[in-house]
């Protein structure tokens, strides 16, 4: 390697955006989409309880009441139940009283000229919240919105805490609908037997014991969404309809990301602040040791986020850094932007979940779940038509920042590791983790919580590399972690902005 030049592949995940100030968690999307954030703002404006957990509980209580009513309506044909009506029932009982209260507050003030500046600002806030609550009530909701909403209510331990959990849920739902649910065609139907099969599909999840019949309610919601359309005659047709509805969810998600990126607040942040933070973090990933910095760095960026794109990076202009390629592999929220060719956001499942690891052994090439794999969706999104350049043939270091290293993306990483032959080459691997807290952790000591973040990351790194090592034939691939450590080619670091 020429010491004056460095070649690097940087893999960016959601932790990167969060470190740069974007609230792009699924929790925040859910709270924004269904009015929980709006309610929090209203309560703050009226000096009431602003505990987001309490507001969520009120919302879930409303959800439970609506879902229980659906469960009780067994005698009604499921096909008569409208998805939008179900969600509107949930939102109306939660938001309509709020909307009316806001309108009453606004209507009590008549003479704008006599208002103080503070009162006028307060009125503007109330009007904005009225518009926001009305927008939420009148929005178009997809079947996947209802399924994710029901999962939050019917399952425990927050089954959708992270974005990769959403993709896992998609996999389980499409597997139940397109693969495991044989009862639609069974003459000797038994709800107990169906629940038993449903349990097998959703293994690893715990159903809410405080909600009676939670398992049956969740299964019934899925069946309402995707099994009651008499116009669908084949599983491929059903898969395409499910995919079309997922596209609707993705478009709504794109709007949420755009709102996050373009959000402007004089007090906290704006888009320029986000871009500056992204520039600083990228610079630290490229030049982690200023005293030993190379003269120039050529980088490839594989971005799993839907926010930052190549045109944004070019605006940053980091000295001595040349971009060979920039790929937003799962699309861009602002995909209509004219300054860059891009595709809309996608969610997908990993091919490993469908195809066995041994080639040709038990492979069902007619499996309709293929439509939901990331491989299919990338081809369908014409990703390679959009990319300006392929990755460099050789790199010195592969850097991971803010990625969950979830199994859903193993296929990508295995391809990268093969491409750069990490077992035999001198390529170094760097993994950066966020020194934050896991809200589900039972550990109370702050120092131990930070240590737990490191341990969780190391565990994920070992799992990823060990799984990859198992794909290497006759190479003792199971020892790849030891090999990388002995050769000083594997490091796990805290986020460079938290050191």
CA distance 126 to 101: 10
Q: Which of 144, 140, 204 lies closest to 174 in space, CA to CA?
A: 144
Cβ atoms of 199 and 188 closer than 8 Å: no
Give me the count of residues in the chain: 499
Higher pLDDT pick, 440 / 130 = 130
Cβ atoms of 148 and 253 closer than 8 Å: no
φ, ψ dihedrals at 336, nearest 5°? -85, -5
pLDDT at residue 318, rounded to an integer: 86
Helix residue spans in 287-339 (DSSP H)? 310-316
pTM of the predicted structure, to 2 decimals = 0.86
Cβ atoms of 330 and 306 closer than 8 Å: yes
pLDDT band of residue 80 (cuts 50, 70, 90) is: low
Sign of CA dihedral 250, 251, 254, 255: negative
**E strand intervals along 139-281:** none
Q: Which range among 139-143, 377-381, 446-450, 456-460 has the greatest average pLDDT?
A: 456-460
CA distance 433 to 198: 36
Higher pLDDT pick, 60 / 418 = 418
Residue 84 pLDDT more than 70?
Answer: yes
pLDDT at residue 498, rounded to an integer: 65
pLDDT band of residue 76 (cuts 50, 70, 90) is: very low
pLDDT at residue 385, rounded to an integer: 62
| Bridge partner residues of 323 (DSSP) | 299
Residue 42 pLDDT more than 50?
Answer: yes
Q: How many other C-beta atoms are found inside a 10 Å radius of the C-beta of residue 110?
A: 7
pLDDT at residue 108, rounded to an integer: 61
What is the pLDDT of the chain when averaged over all its residues?
Answer: 82
For the beta sheet containing 428-433, the strands, ordered from the edge strand earlier in sequence to the opposite edge, are 321-328, 296-303, 5-12, 397-401, 428-433, 490-494
Q: How many other C-beta atoms are found inside a 10 Å radius of the C-beta of residue 252?
A: 17
Q: Which of 34-48, 193-207, 265-279 has the lowest mean pLDDT?
A: 265-279
SS3 (DSSP) at 367? coil
CA distance 83 to 89: 10
Sign of CA dihedral 168, 171, 172, 174: positive
Would you list the domain boundaries of the chain?
6-21+269-343+382-494, 26-141, 143-262
Tokens 């307060």 appear where?
Answer: 122
pLDDT band of residue 391 (cuts 50, 70, 90) is: very high
Tokens 């020429």 appear where?
Answer: 2
Per-residue pLDDT tens for 309-338?
A: 888 887 777 888 999 999 999 999 988 775
Residue 186 pLDDT more than 60?
Answer: no
CA distance 367 to 486: 43
For 118, counting Cβ atoms within 10 Å of its Cβ (0-12 exposed, 13-18 middle, 19+ buried), the class is exposed
> Do β-strands 397-401 and 428-433 pair in parallel, antiparallel, or remain unpaired?
parallel
CA distance 159 to 365: 30
Per-residue pLDDT tens for 345-362?
A: 999 998 877 876 555 556
Query: Which one-letter DSSP state was computed for residue 155?
Result: B
SS3 (DSSP) at 134? helix
pLDDT at residue 1, rounded to an integer: 46
Helix residue spans in 263-322 (DSSP H)? 271-286, 310-316
Higher pLDDT pick, 420 / 105 = 420
Cβ atoms of 221 and 313 closer than 8 Å: no
Helix residue spans in 364-494 (DSSP H)? 374-380, 383-386, 410-419, 446-469, 480-486
For residue 394 the two structure tokens come to: 């050789």
Helix residue spans in 117-234 (DSSP H)? 117-138, 143-154, 163-175, 191-201, 214-226
SS3 (DSSP) at 318? coil
Residue 120 pLDDT more than 80?
Answer: no
pLDDT at residue 137, rounded to an integer: 81
Sign of CA dihedral 322, 327, 328, 334: positive
Kindly state the percentage of the chain with pLDDT values over 70. 82
Residue 112 pLDDT more than 80?
Answer: no
For residue 267 the two structure tokens come to: 């007090």
Q: Which of 156-160, 166-170, 221-225 has the lowest mean pLDDT?
A: 156-160
For 207, counting Cβ atoms within 10 Å of its Cβ (0-12 exposed, 13-18 middle, 19+ buried), the class is buried
> Do β-strands 5-12 and 296-303 pair in parallel, antiparallel, or remain unpaired?
parallel
| Bridge partner residues of 349 (DSSP) | 373
Between the CA of residue 333 and those of 49, 88, 122, 233, what are the distances in Å? Answer: 33, 26, 32, 34
Per-residue pLDDT tens for 268-294?
A: 557 888 899 999 999 999 988 765 677
């Amino acid at each position: 390697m020429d010491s004056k030049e460095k070649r690097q592949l940087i893999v960016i995940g959601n932790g990167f955006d969060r470190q740069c100030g974007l609230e792009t968690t699924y929790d925040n999307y859910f709270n924004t989409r269904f009015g929980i954030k709006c309610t929090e703002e209203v309560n703050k404006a009226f000096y009431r309880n602003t505990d987001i957990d309490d507001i969520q509980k009120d919302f879930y209580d409303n959800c439970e009441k609506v879902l229980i009513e659906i469960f009780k309506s067994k005698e009604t044909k499921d096909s008569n139940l409208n998805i939008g009506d179900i969600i509107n029932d949930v939102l109306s009982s939660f938001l309509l009283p709020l909307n009316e209260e806001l309108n009453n507050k606004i209507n009590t003030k008549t003479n704008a000229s006599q208002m103080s500046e503070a009162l006028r600002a307060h009125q503007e806030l109330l009007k904005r919240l009225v518009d926001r609550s009305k927008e939420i009530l009148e929005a178009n909701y997809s079947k996947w919105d209802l399924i994710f909403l029901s999962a939050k209510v019917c399952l425990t331990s927050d089954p959708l805490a992270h974005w990769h959990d959403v993709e896992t849920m998609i996999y389980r739902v499409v597997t139940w609908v397109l693969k495991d649910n044989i009862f639609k065609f069974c003459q000797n139907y038994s709800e107990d037997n169906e629940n038993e099969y449903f349990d097998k599909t959703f293994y690893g999840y715990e159903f809410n014991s405080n909600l009676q019949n939670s398992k049956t309610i969740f299964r019934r919601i899925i069946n309402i969404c995707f099994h009651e359309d008499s116009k669908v005659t084949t599983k491929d047709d059903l898969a395409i309809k499910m995919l079309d509805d997922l596209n609707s969810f993705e478009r709504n998600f794109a709007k949420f990301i755009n709102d996050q990126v373009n959000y402007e607040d004089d007090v906290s942040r704006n888009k320029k602040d986000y871009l500056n933070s992204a520039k600083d973090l990228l610079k630290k990933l490229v030049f982690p040791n200023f005293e030993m910095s190379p003269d120039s760095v050529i980088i490839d960026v594989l971005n799993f986020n839907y926010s930052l794109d190549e045109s944004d990076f070019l605006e940053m202009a980091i000295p001595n850094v040349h971009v060979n390629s920039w790929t937003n592999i799962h699309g861009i929220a602002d995909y209509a932007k004219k300054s860059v060719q891009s595709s809309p956001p996608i969610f997908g499942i990993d091919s490993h979940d469908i195809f066995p690891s041994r080639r040709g052994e038990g492979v069902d090439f007619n499996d309709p779940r293929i439509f939901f794999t990331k491989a299919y969706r990338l081809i369908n999104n014409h990703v390679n038509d959009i990319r300006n350049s392929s990755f460099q043939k050789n790199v010195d270091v592969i850097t991971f920042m803010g990625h969950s290293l979830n199994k859903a993306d193993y296929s990508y990483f295995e391809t990268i590791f093969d491409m750069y032959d990490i077992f035999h080459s001198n390529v170094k691997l760097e993994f950066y983790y966020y020194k934050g807290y896991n809200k589900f952790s039972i550990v109370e000591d702050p120092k131990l919580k930070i240590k737990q973040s490191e341990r969780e990351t190391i565990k994920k790194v070992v799992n990823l590399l060990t799984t990859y090592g198992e794909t290497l034939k006759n190479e003792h691939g199971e020892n790849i972690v030891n090999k990388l450590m002995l050769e000083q080619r594997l490091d796990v670091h805290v986020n460079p902005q938290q050191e």
